[in-house]
Amino acid sequence: MLRRMESRAALGRGMDWDRASALARRALGWAALMGVTFLLCRARAGRSAPFAMAFLAAALPLGRSAAALIAGCLAGAMRGTIRDFDLALPIGAAVALGGSIAWDFARPALRRMAARDDRAGRLLRRARDVLMGRRTGAFEGPAPNRLARSPNDAGAMLCAALAGAAVLIPGLALLGDGLSVPAAAQVTAAAVAAVAAAPFYKEAIEGGLSPRRWTAARRAGLWLLMGAACAGLARVSAPLGLCAGAALALLMYPAGALAGAAFGAAVAVWAGDGRLLALLAVGGATAQICERHGPIARAALTAGAMLVAGLLLNMKPVLLAGGPVAALGAMPVPEAWARFFFMLAKPELPGDPVRLAALERRRAAAKLNALAAAFGELAEGYMWPVTLPDEQALTRRLRGRLCAGCGDYGACWAGERNRGARFLCDLIARAAACGEDAPVFDGEVTPELLRRCRRARLLPERTEDLLEDFARSRRAELRRSAENRLVSAQFLQARQLLEALAGRVAQPPPRRRGPRLRVERGAACASGRAGEESGDSHLICMIDETRLLAVICDGMGSGPEAAEESRLAVRLLGRFLRAGAPCALAVETVNALLLNRGGEDMFATADLLILDLMTGEAEFMKLAACPTMIARGGEALRVEGGRLPLGILEQVRPEHTRARLMPGDAVLMVSDGVADAAGIEALEEMLVAGAGEDAARLSQRALDLAGAACDGGRRDDMTAVVLKINSFFTLQC
């Protein structure tokens, strides 16, 4: 006996347990594939098995065992004797297998053909994009997959095509002489069902059993696969189908009512007993209602509810036992399996990209709103009231210094006229009106002061220091208050911008089509003095998928300082508008910055055009800018502008004009150097006459016309921007 034990130990040491474990797992996988295929083959619709063909078409291209799949298909085709063997199933499996093998051989050649830049390659790419739901040229790609949207990649297309062929070819071929419209319609409906189910089966098989890799399509595929398996099991045995459906509804208790109704419908249709639907719906609803109870209590209550419902429906004893048997079968399920079914039924999946994107949008919007609230607090914090020096206290001090001991004291301060108080108030107002370095009296006293006060000659000696201190403190406080108001306004603008961005981020991205209009752009600029930098700046860019921005800014004067002003205004306007800020807010922010940098010594005109390439709606905004000219049908239209430039006043509002641009229109925007030199009428004639030329040439012609009009005289900086509106009539492949 000892020798026998030693020999067994030596045999155990010699075995490769890792390899044996891998073989066992592979054998279990093959058995699972065979079992699932067998059950799906039993879920027939007439002579077709659409769910089985869809499963084969999804599993074969993914490299699953063809032998196990075909073995399950052959077992499902057996219906008693050999004469009852269903040929449609093995023929369909052969079609799916042959199509998968043919695709493996043809795919490299198709890829090489699609990569070529000839007509065949473009047509092939175009056909691929149309079949996969992609948009080309100016159009966007496909929208994110939703819960009820089938995946549309190349693998899903292949699975759908193989599934449809595997049902349609044998179904129509085996009809033979019995081909009729109802029979052909039944086969076609089964093929459509296979085509619809195959992409979801592919996602379910490819995603595996880890909830972290689940998406909405994979979740739907698993639900569809379990429902079809329950239907096939019900065709084999109605009690077994009832037990399987009840066990699944109990394990998927977060969505128990839905699971019970879905699996009950599948079991009832294929078992031919509508009472099974009501029985499973009652069991699933009870499991969902008892969600907060423990697994034992939930299983007991579900079994009891199904037993009572079965008695009320007068069902057979073998079916009455379905609820208790399902409860007993679901209780010893391993924790990993229970977790799998729980996550499958949970409304929100951790791996769903749509849900994750929505969650990230909500988080980003919450952060932006929090930052906006912080900027709002800062804006309120800088709005403290102005504390100017006390004028009454200053009046008392001036009265003590100037009027004490004066012989006219009683006459000045007595009576209703109160000449002394009004005289001192006038002195305080005079001090407040003095400039930064200007003295109050400048060493002399005016005759007016001598007439009103006996001691007027003593004013510089006795009151000038008090008045200058008051004026200095008042100017400092007013300057600080103005700076605080400006900072508060900028913080408030930042808050409004962040709130607007938070609102846009929180919403799912809209599914937009590409622009209907195409814009040909041209711009030309020239400095007013040779060797100096132009004070004009311009920008033409897309601020989003369908809106075009064109802007010209003219800084004060010419040279580097004017160029810096205009570049700053153009750069900030473009960035704010590309970030999604409202145009009015962008203009106010740039105006506040220019006002803070230089006050009245730094300003810039602004001429903006925002064009919607979907509708043709154009919005013109002008701040001391020249008119914009539009050539249409041999006529010239004019968009006037006015108002003050940027950087002059704290509150600035541009002149707004809306118009609709059409294909064939030509738009000319110019700075004052071009408009003043050439004249608006001459520019309009040039634009109408040159409507057939390209945009770059037209813009240069506008500068040439203005330069010729100067005739060697002093000229200003010049900028011309031309936009020619065309329509998209072809799609790029």
Q: How far apart are CA 319 and CA 269, in angstroms?
A: 16
Considering the domain architecture, whether residues 518 and 555 belong to the same structural domain is answered as yes
- Centroid of chain to Cα 50: 38
Q: How far apart are CA 244 and CA 441, in angstroms?
A: 105
pLDDT higher at 732 or 33? 33
Name the pLDDT band for 513 (thresholds 50, 70, 90).
Answer: low
Strand-by-strand arrangement of the 655-660 sheet = 536-542, 547-555, 604-612, 617-623, 655-660
Q: Does residue 16 register a pLDDT over 70?
A: no
* The pLDDT value given to residue 477: 83
Considering the domain architecture, whether residues 372 and 248 belong to the same structural domain is answered as no
Considering the domain architecture, whether residues 231 and 277 belong to the same structural domain is answered as no
Q: Is residue 620 packed enough to be buried (19+ CB in 10 Å), middle (13-18) or exposed (0-12)?
A: buried
Lowest-pLDDT range of 214-228, 320-334, 429-443, 616-630: 429-443
Nearest to 184 by CA among 169, 194, 196, 195: 169
Q: How far apart are CA 129 and CA 154, in angstroms?
A: 10
Single residue among 351, 373, 402 that ends a domain in this structure = 351
Name the pLDDT band for 677 (thresholds 50, 70, 90).
Answer: confident
* The pLDDT value given to residue 723: 93
C-beta separation of 231 from 54 below 8 A: no
Q: Cα dist. 116→120, 124, 597 in Å?
A: 8, 10, 57
Considering the domain architecture, whether residues 562 and 501 belong to the same structural domain is answered as no
Instruction: Please give the sequence-ordered ranges of beta strands (E in DSSP) within 486-535, or none if there are none.
Output: 517-526
* The pLDDT value given to residue 420: 79
- In the numeric block, which tokens belong to residue 233? 């099991």
733 found inside a domain: no
Total count of domains within the chain? 4
Q: Cα dist. 714→272, 524, 531, 532 in Å?
A: 98, 19, 15, 14
- In the numeric block, which tokens belong to residue 556? 């004060």
What angle is formed at CA 421 by the lines to CA 420 and CA 427, rounded to 5 degrees? 90
* The pLDDT value given to residue 724: 92
Considering the domain architecture, whether residues 229 and 284 belong to the same structural domain is answered as no
With a pLDDT cut of 90, the percent of the chain lying above it is 4
Q: Largest alpha-carbon pair distance within the chain?
A: 142
Considering the domain architecture, whether residues 345 and 412 belong to the same structural domain is answered as no
Neighbours of 133 (CB within 10 A): 14
392 found inside a domain: yes
* The pLDDT value given to residue 550: 92
Considering the domain architecture, whether residues 286 and 375 belong to the same structural domain is answered as no
Q: How far apart are CA 459 and CA 468, in angstroms?
A: 12
Considering the domain architecture, whether residues 55 and 111 belong to the same structural domain is answered as yes
Per-residue pLDDT tens for 423-432?
888 888 888 8
Q: Is residue 443 packed enough to be buried (19+ CB in 10 Å), middle (13-18) or exposed (0-12)?
A: exposed
111 found inside a domain: yes
* The pLDDT value given to residue 97: 83
594 found inside a domain: yes
Nearest to 47 by CA among 207, 144, 179, 216: 179
Q: Does residue 54 register a pLDDT over 80?
A: yes
* The pLDDT value given to residue 364: 83
Q: How far apart are CA 536 and CA 555, in angstroms?
A: 6
Name 170's Cβ contacts closer than 8 Å, sequence gap at least 6: 87, 88, 89, 91, 92, 95
Single residue among 211, 236, 261 that ends a domain in this structure = 236
Q: Cα dist. 189→184, 229, 443 in Å?
A: 9, 20, 108
Q: How far apart are CA 650 and CA 171, in angstroms?
A: 79
* The pLDDT value given to residue 731: 35
Per-residue pLDDT tens for 213-265?
667 777 888 888 888 888 888 888 888 888 888 888 888 888 888 888 888 88
In angstroms, what is the C-alpha Rg of the chain? 42
With a pLDDT cut of 70, the percent of the chain lying above it is 80
Q: Does residue 1 register a pLDDT over 60?
A: no
4 found inside a domain: no
Q: How far apart are CA 449 and CA 589, in angstroms?
A: 47
Strand-by-strand arrangement of the 666-670 sheet = 517-526, 718-727, 666-670, 628-632, 635-639
Name 584's Cβ contacts closer than 8 Å, sequence gap at least 6: 653, 654
C-beta separation of 623 from 605 below 8 A: yes
Lowest-pLDDT range of 474-478, 617-621, 626-630: 474-478
27 found inside a domain: yes
* Domain CATH number, residue 516: 3.60.40.10
- In the numeric block, which tokens belong to residue 231? 């239907």
pLDDT higher at 327 or 356? 327
Per-residue pLDDT tens for 526-564?
887 776 777 788 899 988 888 899 998 877 655 677 677
Coil, helix or strand at residue 523: strand
pLDDT higher at 340 or 651? 340
Per-residue pLDDT tens for 434-468?
777 777 777 677 888 778 887 777 877 788 788 88
C-beta separation of 142 from 352 below 8 A: no
71 found inside a domain: yes
Considering the domain architecture, whether residues 145 and 156 belong to the same structural domain is answered as yes
Nearest to 223 by CA among 437, 51, 377: 51
Per-residue pLDDT tens for 135-186?
443 333 333 333 344 555 667 788 888 888 888 888 877 776 666 778 888 8
Nearest to 391 by CA among 467, 458, 494: 467
Name the pLDDT band for 8 (thresholds 50, 70, 90).
Answer: very low
Q: How far apart are CA 490 and CA 595, in angstroms?
A: 12
pLDDT higher at 443 or 599? 443
Top-ranked range on mean pLDDT: pick from 112-126, 128-142, 373-387:
373-387
* The pLDDT value given to residue 393: 84
Name the pLDDT band for 129 (thresholds 50, 70, 90).
Answer: low
pLDDT higher at 331 or 550? 550
* The pLDDT value given to residue 149: 46
Considering the domain architecture, whether residues 340 and 411 belong to the same structural domain is answered as no
DSSP 46-76: TTB-HHHHHHHHHHTTTT--HHHHHHHHHHH
Q: Cα dist. 570→540, 543, 650 in Å?
A: 10, 13, 19
- In the numeric block, which tokens belong to residue 721? 């921007």
Single residue among 511, 535, 550 that ends a domain in this structure = 511
303 found inside a domain: yes
* The pLDDT value given to residue 130: 54
Considering the domain architecture, whether residues 369 and 503 belong to the same structural domain is answered as yes
Q: Kindly state the helix (H) or strand (E) to which residue 431 belongs, with its residue range.
A: helix 419-432
In the block, residue with structure tokens 């601020």: 543
Name 16's Cβ contacts closer than 8 Å, sequence gap at least 6: none
What do you get for the CA distance between the two ends of the chain, in Å? Answer: 81
Considering the domain architecture, whether residues 202 and 180 belong to the same structural domain is answered as yes
Domain that holds residue 203: 20-236
The amino acid at residue 603 is F
* The pLDDT value given to residue 59: 86
Q: Does residue 274 register a pLDDT over 80?
A: yes
The mean pLDDT value of the chain amounts to: 78
